[in-house]
C-alpha cells in the first residue's frame, strides 16, 4: 500500500512517501531553511565578470547570487547575430536592476544560482513572460498532439513570451488554457507594479515550496492514502485528491512520524553505516566536495564461492545505494567503491542495475562509469540541502572532521610552549588544561613536570579545564601565585 504521511502541526514541516512498507522519499523544511528555489526577487547587478560570462547579483539575501549570460532575459530576447560569442557586458551592466528567480539554493559559501528568465508555475502551464520558447510535455501521446499544442501556443502568446505545457494540460480545453494564461499574465503585471515601488533588492514573489512538493508527490500516486495531522493542510490539499486516493486526518497523541515509524528511518539516514542483507554493509561519508560510498561484505560469506558473494553483495548494494542517494538527497559528485569485480560484464551488470534504480529519481543523475580502480562515478543535480545538511550542524568541537588532537599531542605542544619561557625571570607559570593533558604532561608521580621545572627554572601550576576537547591555555606568568 502507498502512503503519503504529512507532518505539519509544528514549525518543522515534513512528509514521507511510503511504498509497500518501505520509505521512498523524505522531505523536511525547517524555519529559516526553506528552499528559495522558484522565488522571484528584484536584484541589482553588483559585478559583471566578462571572463566568466556571468554576473553577481545582490537580491536581498545574505550571499549574492550567480547569473550566467545565457540566463539573462536580454540575451534570450536578443536577435543579434552571433550573440553566443558576445560578452555578457553587451547584455547587462553594473548597477542595473533586474528581476531574477532562484534556480538553485545557496550552499556553503556559494551563493544561489539565478535566472533572469522568469517562470510562473500554473497547474497546466509554465508561463515565461520573456522566455521566447514553446515546449510540450514529453508524455504527449503522439507527435501530432505535441504539434497541435505548439501551434495553439504560437497563436495565443506574444513573440517575447514562452509557454511550457504540463502533462495535465493535454486533457484540458483551449478555453481553460487561455484562462490560466490570462491569470498568469495578471500575476506578472502585479509583480511589475510591486517592483516600481521598491527602492532596494528584495523578495517580489515567494512559492509555498513545501506544499508544491507534497502535491507533486501526491500526483505520482495512483492509489493509496494521504494522512496529515493538520486540518487546514487537509483542506488545502483536498482538490489534488484523485480517484483511488483516500485522505485522512490523524489526531493521535503520538507524533504522526513516530506512529508510522518514519522517525526511526530518519535516525538511520543520519548514520554512516547502512546494513545490507546477511551482514554486508555500506559506509557513507558525505563531504563538501563529494560523497563516498564504500561497500563491504562484512560477515556475508555466500553459499558457493567468493566471486558469487561479491556479486550478490554488489547487486544488493547497487539497489540500496540508489535508495540512500534519494532519501539522503545526496548531490554533486558521488563515488561508489563496490567490492572488486573480475570482469567488465560483472561491472556492467551492476552499473545497469543502479541506472535502473536511479531512473526512479526525480532529480537528474548521470552515471559516468567505472574508473580503472573499480569505483563507479556519478553525479546528481543539487537544488537544495541534503538531509544531513538540513538536520545537523558541524560539530563545534572537531569542526566536522570527526577528529581532534589527542591529549598526548596537546601535552607535547604545551611542553614546547613552556620551553619558550626558559630565559625569562618568571617564578611561576599558571596553566589551565584538561585533565588528560595534565596527566600526560606530568607523568607518573609528576616525573616529567619536575624534570621540566628544574630545566626551565620556574614552577608550573595547573588548574583543571572542563573543555570538551584536549586543551591548554597559559593563564598567568610572573611571581609565585597562591591558589585557594
Residue 362 has which C-alpha cell?
526525480
Q: 473 near 465, Cβ under 8 Å?
A: yes
Structural domain that includes position 456: 407-478
Same domain, 196 and 217: no
Residue 213 has which C-alpha cell?
512538493
What pLDDT is attached to residue 139? Answer: 76
Number of folded domains in the chain?
Answer: 4
Same domain, 321 and 252: no
Same domain, 22 and 45: no
Chain centre to alpha carbon of residue 226: 26
Same domain, 103 and 221: no
Q: Which tens digits make up the pLDDT trace of 267-302? A: 999 999 999 988 899 999 998 889 999 999 877 655
Q: Which tens digits make up the pLDDT trace of 385-404? A: 899 988 998 888 888 788 89
Whether residue 219 is predicted with pLDDT greater than 50 in this model: the reply is: yes
Which residues in 184-327 belong to E strands, given as ranges? 202-205, 224-228, 245-249, 273-275, 281-286, 290-296
On whether residue 400 sits in a domain, the answer given is no
Same domain, 438 and 363: no
What pLDDT is attached to residue 399? Answer: 82
Q: Which tens digits make up the pLDDT trace of 141-198? A: 788 888 889 999 999 999 999 999 988 888 889 999 999 999 999 999 999 999 998 9
Helix residue ranges, H only, 125-202: 143-156, 174-196
Q: Which tens digits make up the pLDDT trace of 17-69? A: 999 899 999 999 988 777 888 999 999 999 999 999 999 999 999 999 999 99
Average pLDDT across the chain, whole number: 91
CATH number of the domain that residue 176 is part of: 2.40.50.140
User: What is the arithmetic mean of pLDDT over 221-238?
Assistant: 94
Share of the chain above pLDDT 90, in %: 71
- In the 8-state DSSP scheme, what is residue 301? -
Helix residue ranges, H only, 372-434: 387-391, 407-419
Q: Which tens digits make up the pLDDT trace of 115-126? A: 999 999 888 899
What pLDDT is attached to residue 400? Answer: 79
> What pTM was estimated for this model as a whole?
0.73
On whether residue 396 sits in a domain, the answer given is no
Whether residue 484 is predicted with pLDDT greater than 50 in this model: the reply is: no
Question: Of 247, 264, 281, which residue is a domain's last?
Answer: 264
What pLDDT is attached to residue 345? Answer: 94
User: What is the arithmetic mean of pLDDT over 445-470?
Assistant: 95
On whether residue 483 sits in a domain, the answer given is no
d(CA 215, CA 466) in angstroms, rounded, equals 50
d(CA 320, CA 312) in angstroms, rounded, equals 12
Q: How confident is the model at residue 304 (pLDDT cuts 50, 70, 90)?
A: low
Q: Which tens digits make up the pLDDT trace of 322-357? A: 999 999 999 999 999 999 998 999 999 999 999 999
Share of the chain above pLDDT 70, in %: 98
User: What is the arithmetic mean of pLDDT over 72-88?
Assistant: 89
CATH number of the domain that residue 221 is part of: 3.30.420
What pLDDT is attached to residue 301? Answer: 58
Amino acid at each position: 500500500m502507498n502512503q503519503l504521511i504529512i507532518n505539519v502541526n509544528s514549525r518543522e514541516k515534513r512528509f514521507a512517501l511510503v511504498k509497500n512498507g518501505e520509505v521512498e522519499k523524505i522531505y523536511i523544511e525547517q524555519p529559516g531553511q526553506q528552499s528559495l528555489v522558484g522565488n522571484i526577487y528584484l536584484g541589482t547587478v553588483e559585478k559583471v565578470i566578462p571572463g566568466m560570462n556571468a554576473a553577481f547579483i545582490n537580491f536581498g539575501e545574505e550571499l549574492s547570487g550567480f547569473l550566467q549570460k545565457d540566463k539573462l532575459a536580454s540575451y534570450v530576447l536578443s536577435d543579434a547575430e552571433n550573440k553566443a560569442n558576445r560578452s555578457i557586458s553587451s547584455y547587462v551592466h553594473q548597477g542595473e536592476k533586474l528581476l531574477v528567480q532562484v534556480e538553485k539554493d545557496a550552499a556553503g559559501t556559494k551563493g544561489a544560482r539565478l535566472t533572469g528568465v522568469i517562470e510562473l508555475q500554473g497547474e497546466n502551464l509554465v508561463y515565461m513572460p520573456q522566455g521566447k520558447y514553446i515546449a510540450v510535455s514529453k508524455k504527449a501521446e503522439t507527435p501530432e498532439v505535441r504539434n497541435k499544442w505548439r501551434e495553439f501556443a504560437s497563436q495565443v502568446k506574444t513573440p517575447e513570451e514562452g509557454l511550457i505545457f504540463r502533462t495535465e494540460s493535454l486533457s484540458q480545453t483551449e478555453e481553460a488554457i487561455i484562462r490560466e494564461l490570462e491569470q498568469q499574465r495578471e500575476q506578472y503585471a502585479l509583480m511589475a507594479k510591486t517592483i516600481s515601488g521598491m527602492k532596494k533588492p528584495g523578495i517580489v514573489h515567494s512559492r509555498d515550496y513545501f506544499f508544491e512538493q507534497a502535491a507533486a508527490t501526491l500526483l505520482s500516486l495512483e492509489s493509496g492514502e494521504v494522512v496529515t495531522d493538520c486540518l487546514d493542510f487537509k483542506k488545502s490539499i483536498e482538490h489534488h485528491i484523485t480517484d483511488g486516493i483516500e485522505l485522512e486526518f490523524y489526531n493521535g497523541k503520538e507524533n504522526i512520524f513516530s506512529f508510522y515509524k518514519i522517525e526511526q528511518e530518519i535516525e538511520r539516514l543520519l548514520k554512516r553505516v547502512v546494513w545490507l542483507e546477511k551482514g554486508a554493509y555500506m559506509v557513507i561519508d558525505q563531504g563538501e566536495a563529494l560523497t563516498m560510498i564504500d561497500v563491504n561484505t562484512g560477515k556475508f560469506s555466500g553459499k558457493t564461492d567468493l566471486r558469487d558473494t561479491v556479486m550478490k553483495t554488489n547487486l544488493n548494494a547497487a539497489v540500496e545505494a540508489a535508495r540512500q542517494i534519494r532519501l539522503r538527497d545526496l548531490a554533486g559528485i558521488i563515488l561508489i567503491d563496490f567490492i572488486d569485480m573480475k570482469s567488465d560484464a560483472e561491472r556492467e551488470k551492476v552499473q545497469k542495475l543502479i541506472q535502473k534504480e536511479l531512473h526512479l529519481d526525480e532529480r537528474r543523475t548521470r552515471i559516468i562509469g567505472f574508473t580503472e580502480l573499480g569505483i563507479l562515478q556519478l553525479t546528481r543535480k543539487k537544488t537544495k540541502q541534503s538531509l544531513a545538511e538540513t538536520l545537523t550542524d558541524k560539530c563545534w568541537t572537531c569542526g566536522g572532521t570527526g577528529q581532534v588532537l589527542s591529549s598526548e599531542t596537546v601535552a607535547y605542544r604545551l611542553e614546547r610552549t613552556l620551553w619558550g619561557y626558559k630565559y625569562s625571570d618568571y617564578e611561576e607559570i599558571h596553566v589551565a588544561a584538561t585533565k588528560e593533558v595534565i596527566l600526560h604532561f606530568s607523568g607518573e608521580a609528576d616525573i616529567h613536570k619536575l624534570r621540566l621545572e628544574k630545566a626551565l627554572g620556574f614552577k608550573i601550576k595547573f588548574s583543571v579545564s572542563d573543555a570538551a576537547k584536549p586543551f591548554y591555555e597559559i593563564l598567568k606568568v610572573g611571581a609565585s601565585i597562591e591558589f585557594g
